[in-house]
């Protein structure tokens, strides 16, 4: 329950006042508060440029907040039930890397599920941490990876009592959570920090009809994509912390390494305003949204060949809890893949889904979703049935992850070579390769490329998915083992 006046938007107010004050701008940015005319400006409107100031007097500094940014961050901490909040202008990716670099140093262990977003792997590269990967629970019916199992975590912790932190995803991209409260209790018994990727759960704390938020569960740090489900501009997130296990000074120093010295004031104003809106109206709007989503699921479940996943399904498939503002629809019984459905809905109905997997498509709703959007979604799904085939959709789920040859950081720094994808078997990957969305790497630096990986890559390519890596299509960057002299330097490498 918030204690402060959540209607306040101190940063937004201040930047508005500055932008409309008629200041003579002899500083950067070069558009001079919108005095440079362009097609871009006439489309966006002048106000966007009036708010786009760099570091004018009185507007505070994100790298060492003392004024209105500090005040706005305190309001955010209050709204999200944290002790401290830090505005992130480079997304939850920045928050995840910061959490890892704050909590774990080179060669120290972090217990982490393997189905993490690529930013967590990048956090391992930058920190030099040694990942102890946990296999998430796999739902073989839907072909997706879910949360982690408490008893397996206990075993992993007991085998690695020297680990510094446990990393948890709350919820997964698909909305499934693990028993976070018990995970926190267990990790804290062993003095380990709990770091939470809450990219898809920033709205959790605003209704008790949603899964528990990281802060409510007692986690130490959580990175929340305010842009994904709360309504701020894309790229804006918040890092939340609480408790005395977190070194706040190290958090700020790490953020300052990772962020621009010219943070966008529009981004920060957008965070300030989205937080206020959610704190004031969120509970009521989320509860209405949950009802609308439930009604939509019921309507979808009346359509032959389609199945909207319910909370009961998640409970029966070892999920701990489910975010009912997400709508997962299994389409494979129509003899089409989720990738087909994603494309058909876009081409025929102008509906943009969040993502597709082999068996399903995913809709991410928010307090900005309207009943009309959901009606169009149901209509679009009805259209899908025209594309029904007799094909048996290949059951595609890997139950294993590649073996690790070396720490991600070590592989990142090793000498490299580029091999054709078809020649990459048994090579050690030197880059993340992922399908986006969801951005969960199929292989990460330091893992041995096996047949499953090559098979997956060929499959996703055949489905027209966007495959992201650092290398030209058709090639993979791998470790040049013949020229690799392992560096046995000190602890900080």
**Among the residue ranges 26-34, 90-98, 345-353, 459-467, the one whose residues contact ligand PLP (CB under 6 A):** 90-98
**Which residue's Cβ lies closest to ligand PLP?**
91
Given the rule CB under 6 A, which of 76-84, 85-93, 245-253, 289-297 is the region that contacts ligand PLP? 85-93
**Pick from 141, 134, 81: which is nearest to 316 by CA?**
141
Q: Which is nearer to ligand PLP, 49 or 80 (CB)?
A: 80
Picking from 277, 282, 268, 259, the residue whose alpha carbon sits closest to that of residue 233 is: 268
Q: How far is the CB of 88 from ligand PLP (least distance, A)?
A: 8
Answer for which of 6, 92, 102, 232 binds ligand PLP (CB under 6 A) is 92
Residues 186-225 close enough to bind ligand PLP by CB under 6 A: 197, 199-200, 225
**Interface with ligand PLP by CB under 6 A: which range of 30-38, 42-50, 433-441, 457-465?**
433-441
In this chain, which of 263, 438, 441, 446 binds ligand PLP, going by CB under 6 A?
438
Please say which residue, 183 or 448, places its beta carbon nearer to ligand PLP. Answer: 183
User: Closest distance between ligand PLP and the C-beta of residue 230, in Å?
Assistant: 11
Distance CA 330, CA 393 (A): 11
Rounded CA separation 33/42 (Å): 13
Three-state secondary-structure class, residue 465: coil
Q: How far is the CB of 93 from ligand PLP (least distance, A)?
A: 3
What mask, x for binding ligand PLP by CB under 6 A, covers residues 229 to 268? --------x-------------------------------
173 counts as binding ligand PLP under rule CB under 6 A: yes
The residues near 273 (Cβ < 8 Å, ≥ 6 apart) are 9, 12, 232
Looking at 14, 109, 117, 413, which residue binds ligand PLP (CB under 6 A)? Answer: 117
Shortest separation between residue 303's beta carbon and ligand PLP, angstroms = 28
Q: What is the H or E stretch that residue 268 is in?
A: helix 265-301
Tokens representing residue 191 in the block: 């003095």
Q: Is 171 a residue that touches ligand PLP (CB under 6 A)?
A: no
Structure tokens at 276: 């206020």
Secondary structure of residue 210 in the 3-state scheme = coil
Q: How far is the CB of 476 from ligand PLP (least distance, A)?
A: 23
Q: Which of 31, 15, 33, 13 is nearest to 23 (CA)?
A: 33
Q: What is the DSSP letter of 401?
A: -
Measured in whole angstroms, how far is the alpha carbon of residue 359 from the centre of its chain? 22
Q: Which is nearer to ligand PLP, 236 or 450 (CB)?
A: 236
Q: Are 446 and 410 in contact (CB under 8 A)?
A: yes
- Strand pairing partners for 420? 475
Judged by beta carbon, residue 364 or residue 414, the one nearer ligand PLP is 364
Give DSSP secondary structure letters for 166-199.
Answer: EEEESS-TTSEE--HHHHHHHHHHTT-EEEEEET
Rounded distance between C-alpha atoms, residue 429 and residue 56, angstroms: 46
Task: Compute the distance between CA of residue 127 and CA of residue 120 in angstroms, rounded to an integer.
Answer: 10
Q: Residue 435's Cα: distance from chain center in Å?
A: 14
Kindly tell me which of 226 and 384 has the beta carbon lying closer to ligand PLP: 226
Task: Check binding of 439 to ligand PLP (CB under 6 A).
Answer: yes
DSSP per-residue codes, 129-163: -EEEEEPPPEETTTTEE----HHHHHHHHHH-TT-
In terms of CB distance, is 200 or 413 closer to ligand PLP?
A: 200
Q: 91 or 143: whose CB is closer to ligand PLP?
A: 91
When the beta carbons of 34 and 205 are compared against ligand PLP, the nearer one is 205
DSSP string across 4-19: S-TT--HHHHHHHHHH
Could you tell me which residues come within 8 angstroms of residue 459 by beta carbon, excluding any fewer than 6 positions away?
396
Tell me how far the alpha carbon of residue 150 is from its chain's centroid.
Answer: 22
Smaller CB separation from ligand PLP, 93 or 369: 93
Q: Site mask, ligand PLP, residues 150-169, x = CB under 6 A?
A: -------------------x
**Residue 225 or residue 450: which is nearer to ligand PLP going by CB?**
225
What are the helix and strand counts (H, E) for the chain? 17, 20
Count, residues near ligand PLP per rule CB under 6 A: 16
Q: How far is the CB of 235 from ligand PLP (least distance, A)?
A: 7
Residues binding ligand PLP (CB under 6 A): 91-93, 96, 117, 119, 169, 173, 197, 199-200, 225, 237, 437-439
């Amino acid at each position: 329950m918030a204690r402060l006046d959540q209607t306040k938007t101190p940063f937004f107010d201040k930047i508005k006042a500055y932008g409309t004050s008629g200041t003579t701008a002899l500083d950067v940015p070069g558009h001079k508060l919108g005095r440079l005319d362009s097609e871009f400006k006439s489309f966006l409107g002048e106000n966007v440029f009036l708010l786009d100031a760099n570091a004018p007097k009185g507007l505070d500094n994100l790298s060492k907040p003392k004024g209105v940014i500090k005040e706005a961050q305190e309001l955010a901490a209050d709204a999200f039930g944290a002790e401290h909040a830090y505005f992130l202008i480079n997304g939850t990716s920045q928050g995840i890397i910061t959490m890892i670099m704050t909590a774990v140093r080179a060669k120290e262990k972090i217990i982490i599920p393997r189905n993490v977003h690529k930013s967590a792997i990048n956090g391992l590269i930058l920190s030099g941490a040694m990942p102890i990967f946990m296999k998430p629970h796999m739902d073989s019916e839907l072909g997706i990876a879910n949360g982690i199992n408490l008893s397996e975590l206990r075993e992993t912790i007991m085998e690695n009592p020297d680990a510094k932190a446990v990393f948890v995803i709350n919820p997964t991209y698909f909305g499934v959570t693990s028993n976070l409260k018990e995970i926190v209790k267990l990790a804290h018994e062993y003095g380990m920090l709990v770091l939470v990727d809450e990219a898809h759960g920033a709205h959790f704390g605003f209704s008790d009809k949603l899964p528990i938020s990281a802060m409510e569960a007692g986690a130490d740090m959580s990175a929340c994509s305010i842009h994904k489900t709360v309504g701020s501009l894309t790229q804006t997130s918040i890092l939340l912390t609480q408790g005395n296990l977190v070194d706040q000074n190290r958090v700020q120093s790490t953020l300052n390494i990772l962020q621009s010295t010219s943070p966008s004031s529009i981004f920060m104003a957008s965070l300030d305003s989205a937080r206020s809106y959610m704190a004031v109206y969120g509970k009521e709007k989320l509860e209405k949204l949950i009802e609308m989503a439930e009604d939509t699921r019921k309507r979808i479940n009346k359509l032959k060949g389609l199945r909207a996943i319910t909370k009961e399904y998640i409970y029966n498939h070892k999920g701990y809890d489910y975010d009912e503002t997400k709508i997962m629809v299994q389409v494979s019984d129509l003899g089409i893949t989720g990738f087909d459905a994603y494309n058909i809905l876009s081409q025929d109905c102008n509906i943009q889904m969040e993502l597709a997997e082999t068996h399903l498509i995913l809709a991410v709703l928010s307090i900005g979703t309207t009943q009309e959007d959901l009606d169009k979604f149901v209509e679009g799904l009805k259209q899908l049935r025209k594309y029904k085939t007799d094909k048996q959709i290949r059951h595609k789920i890997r139950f294993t992850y590649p073996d690790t040859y070396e720490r991600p950081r070590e592989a990142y720094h090793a000498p490299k070579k580029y091999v054709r994808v078809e020649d990459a078997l048994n090579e050690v990957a030197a880059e993340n390769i992922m399908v986006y969305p969801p951005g969960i790497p199929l292989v990460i630096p330091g893992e041995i490329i096996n047949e499953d990986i090559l098979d997956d890559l060929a499959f996703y390519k055949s489905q027209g998915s966007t495959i992201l890596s650092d290398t030209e299509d058709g090639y993979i960057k791998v470790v040049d083992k013949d020229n690799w002299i392992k560096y046995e330097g000190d602890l900080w490498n």
